[in-house]
Amino acid sequence: MNRILVTGAQGQLGSDIIKRLKQQDYIPLGVDIAEMDLTDPAAITTVTTALQPDAIIHCGAYTQVDLAEDQPDLCHQINSEATRILATYASQADIPILYISTDYIFDGTKPTPYTEADTPNPINTYGITKLAGEQHIQALTTKHFIVRISWVFGINGQNFVKTMLRLAQTHPEINIVADQIGAPTYTVDLAKLLLEMLTSTQYGIYHATNEGSCSWYDFAKEIFHQFNLNVKINPITTNQFPTQAKRPQNSRLSQQKLINADFTPLPPWQEALKNWRIEYEQLEKE
């Protein structure tokens, strides 16, 4: 296995997967909207067929969770239909496909971390369409990994860490939701794990986040602590911060299946944030 097709190659996760593939002497076939528009079914098939990959890592997605409530058809086209087409190709070519999914396929009402065996029940359009993508992968392919992640942060693109750093420059005081619990996932750590998976045949659904859990409020507190920023943060409830799309209150994902399969679990999220800070400060110097 040498030629790896990566969709969403310019996104937070995709860009780190591309870097990792190069380090490990793979041939990354990175595509983003310019090379493969996921709203164009014919283009997906044509480009994939022309590239002749040995495996597919499908990171490309519609991820604007609130906007998705106003654009359900577009969100479905990208997250569900495009995934169906890629799964069909993978099946016909008999190659593995790794699909990035989300904690948002759950409703968040469970009091303990979600396992891969728990029944999905998405409460927003984004979650509904990502679950539909999972179902296509499962129905059409046998050589698949479905990897559910949450609260993603990487050096590329927009994320909660960058938002907090930006707000800290202009706001001495910030209100942050404290009653949604989950786990941050650092794209550099995740990229390593995904390539480890691709070299195995332990196909199936896995949950993969950095170790530990926190609320958005806890996450913000740790960001300001690590960056030595003096910002007052006030814990608020979800009800005090209404958003267009509903969010699950509990987004914690159990890592037990990952560990049982002898894959390398991701390090604690605080350590991941520290490594992100080092990466970020290095870029700021350049």
Residues belonging to the active site? 126
Which residues, other chains included, contact 130 with Cβ-Cβ below 8 Å and sequence gap of 6+?
Answer: 61, 79, 101, 102, 104, 105, 122
275 is written with which tokens?
A: 């490594």
Q: How far is CA 1 from CA 95, 96, 124, in A?
A: 9, 10, 37
Tell me which residue has tokens 């008999």.
94
